[in-house]
């Protein structure tokens, strides 16, 4: 009996020793938070003191990209390391597929306890869904099918939605902190994903946060923008100054909540060996776009639609402030986590790369191009559903109505064969300093633009006539990559 007890205790000791070597991981993401909407990137109004401090003291990813110009697809890339078109997550409201291997599954295999908080939007969060956070590898979740504002409704571990009074970012961080306390008592490292509902429209803010921007309604009263009415849930038009005041209040509240988290980690002695990451899920939405050095907005493959804030804090490994212009994206998160915790990559095409050498300061250039693609052929109404439609019916309510309802349903379609039309849709490749953008005009003709992102970050000078050889090379790389993606779309990876 003594020998058995010794073996058990020795084994527990080894587990604790190995777990102690593994960092805790917190991955945060804002909703529609574009690159320019931070103090550290020079925005003239928005106040983000916490993100500014992270940029000044940690690893500032100057050129970090969302995997797609819209939210659901980016979230699919964030969790899988794969382009969303591989799994049929073409646009907002299109789900992932249950066969996908997520970072939560990988981290669980490495001994982590995991949780998801906030916006999910790649399937329903209800208990019977094969795509809820639990089904995709998370141990716990407090999540919403889509986005949310003040006093949000969340489903805890698949249960019926409940209203949580208060500011949504503060609620999520409070829940995260509670989870960290429980995970710490389990002697396991924790892996958490927090997807904020801010600053997605329709906007709302606390009085103190709104007061910080009281001057904006007077400055921008003439331009009208379209968004959702908080009162009716339907489309409305409002002066941009009023909208910006509310939008920036949401960003500031989210920033403050991240500060609450950082303070907690420091007070609990967890900060040094916790990898804390923040990014946005796509560029700034059109209603909130005010000043930007980049071309385009949310929904476009120009940099204004895909370039987002990117920050990493991990004092044990990033001991000195550093900034990098090496380009990275949400697709890099899964392979980077695999590298950090010593897990093999899933045996299927992965579009991201391991950024551990970038974190350590030894990466000199990116090994693989970055690809972006808004799928142009969804298969139509005749395509067969990938899942039972009842499993794709959402439950958590939100302000914005769609089809007259306050919840969101999802879809994913089988795509057993590939046609020429499947290669269409706005798409882009970034390889080094060059970016090729390809799209079809309204008349069906293919249009191409080539930009030097170092000399021309605003993407104003089309070099397609001056660099035909480089453009042809990028076009061939893009087409080869599309072939791989479409093969995945047929289900070949499963």
pLDDT, position 17? 36
User: What is the token pair recorded at 11?
Assistant: 């084994």
Handedness of CA 438, 441, 444, 446 (dihedral sign): negative
Strand 24-30 and strand 190-195: the pairing is parallel
SS3 for 47-93 is CCHHHHHHHHHCEEECCEECCCCCHHHHHHHHHHCCCHHHHCCCCCC
pLDDT at 48 over 50: yes
pLDDT, position 381? 63
pLDDT, position 6? 36
CATH architecture of 23-371: 3-Layer(aba) Sandwich (3.40)
What is the C-alpha separation between 53 and 363, in angstroms, rounded? 24
Torsion of CA 198, 253, 401, 91, to 10 degrees: 0
For the segment 353-382, the average pLDDT, to the nearest whole number, is 91
- The residues near 482 (Cβ < 8 Å, ≥ 6 apart) are 373, 423, 427
What is the C-alpha separation between 443 and 448, in angstroms, rounded? 14
For the segment 322-337, the average pLDDT, to the nearest whole number, is 98
Q: Residues 310, 336: contact at Cβ < 8 Å?
A: no
Report domain extents, the chain.
23-371
What is the C-alpha separation between 175 and 51, in angstroms, rounded? 20
The 10s digit of each residue's pLDDT in 401-424 is 999 999 999 999 999 999 999 999
For the segment 86-102, the average pLDDT, to the nearest whole number, is 98
Q: Residues 74, 332: contact at Cβ < 8 Å?
A: no
pLDDT, position 410? 98
- Tell me the sheet residues that pair with 237: 226
The 10s digit of each residue's pLDDT in 268-291 is 999 999 999 999 999 999 999 999
Q: Residues 137, 114: contact at Cβ < 8 Å?
A: yes
What is the C-alpha separation between 189 and 26, in angstroms, rounded? 11
Task: Say how many C-beta atoms besides its own lie within 10 A of residue 149's C-beta.
Answer: 22
DSSP 101: P
What is the C-alpha separation between 322 and 55, in angstroms, rounded? 8
Task: Say how many C-beta atoms besides its own lie within 10 A of residue 56's C-beta.
Answer: 11
Helix, strand or coil, per DSSP, at residue 202: coil
pLDDT, position 480? 98
Strand 322-324 and strand 59-61: the pairing is parallel
User: What is the token pair recorded at 60?
Assistant: 């500032």
The 10s digit of each residue's pLDDT in 460-483 is 999 999 999 999 999 999 999 999
Residue 12's pLDDT band (boundaries 50, 70, 90)? very low
Strands (E) in 84-160, as ranges, are 113-119, 140-144, 153-156
Cis peptide before 202 (omega within 30 of 0): yes
């Amino acid at each position: 009996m003594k020998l058995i007890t010794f073996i058990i205790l020795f084994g527990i000791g080894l587990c604790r020793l190995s777990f102690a070597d593994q960092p805790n991981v917190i991955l945060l993401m804002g909703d529609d938070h574009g690159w320019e909407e931070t103090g550290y990137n020079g925005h003239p109004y928005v106040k983000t003191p916490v993100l500014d401090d992270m940029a000044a003291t940690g690893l500032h990813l100057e050129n970090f990209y969302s995997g797609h110009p819209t939210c659901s697809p980016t979230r699919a890339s964030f969790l899988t390391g794969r382009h969303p078109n591989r799994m049929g997550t073409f646009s907002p409201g299109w789900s992932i597929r249950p066969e996908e291997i997520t970072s939560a599954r990988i981290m669980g295999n490495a001994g982590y306890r995991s949780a998801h908080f906030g916006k999910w939007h790649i399937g329903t969060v209800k208990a019977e869904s094969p795509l809820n956070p639990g089904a995709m590898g998370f141990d716990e979740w407090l999540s919403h099918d889509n986005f949310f504002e003040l006093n949000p409704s969340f489903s805890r571990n698949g249960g019926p939605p409940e209203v949580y009074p208060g500011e949504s970012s503060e609620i999520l961080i409070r829940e995260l902190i509670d989870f960290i306390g429980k995970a710490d008592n389990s002697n396991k490292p924790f892996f958490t994903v927090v997807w904020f509902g801010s600053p997605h429209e329709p906007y709302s803010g606390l009085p103190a946060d709104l007061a910080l921007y009281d001057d904006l309604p007077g400055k921008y009263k003439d331009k009208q923008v379209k968004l959702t009415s908080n009162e009716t849930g339907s489309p409305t038009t409002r002066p941009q100054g009023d909208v910006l005041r509310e939008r920036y209040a949401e960003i500031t509240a989210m920033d403050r909540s991240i500060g609450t988290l950082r303070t907690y980690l420091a007070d609990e002695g967890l900060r040094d060996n916790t990898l804390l990451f923040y990014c946005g899920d796509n560029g700034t939405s059109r209603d909130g776009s005010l000043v930007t050095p980049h071309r385009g907005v949310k929904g476009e493959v120009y940099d204004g639609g895909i370039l987002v804030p990117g920050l990493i804090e991990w004092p044990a490994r990033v001991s000195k402030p550093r900034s990098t212009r090496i380009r990275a994206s949400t697709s890099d998160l899964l392979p980077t986590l695999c590298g950090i915790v010593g897990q093999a990559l899933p045996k299927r095409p992965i579009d991201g790369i391991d950024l551990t050498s970038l974190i350590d300061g030894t990466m000199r250039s990116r090994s693989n191009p970055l690809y972006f693609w808004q799928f142009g052929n969804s298969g139509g109404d005749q395509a067969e559903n990938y899942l039972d439609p009842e499993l794709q019916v959402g439950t958590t309510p939100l302000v914005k109505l769609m089809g007259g309802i306050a919840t969101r349903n999802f879809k994913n379609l089988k795509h057993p064969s590939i046609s020429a039309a499947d290669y269409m849709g706005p798409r882009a490749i970034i390889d080094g300093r060059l970016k090729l953008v390809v799209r079809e005009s309204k008349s069906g003709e293919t249009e191409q633009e080539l930009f030097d992102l170092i000399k021309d970050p605003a993407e104003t000078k089309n070099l397609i006539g001056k660099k035909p050889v480089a453009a042809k090379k990028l076009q061939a790389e893009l087409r080869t990559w599309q072939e791989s993606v479409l093969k995945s779309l047929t289900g070949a990876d499963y």
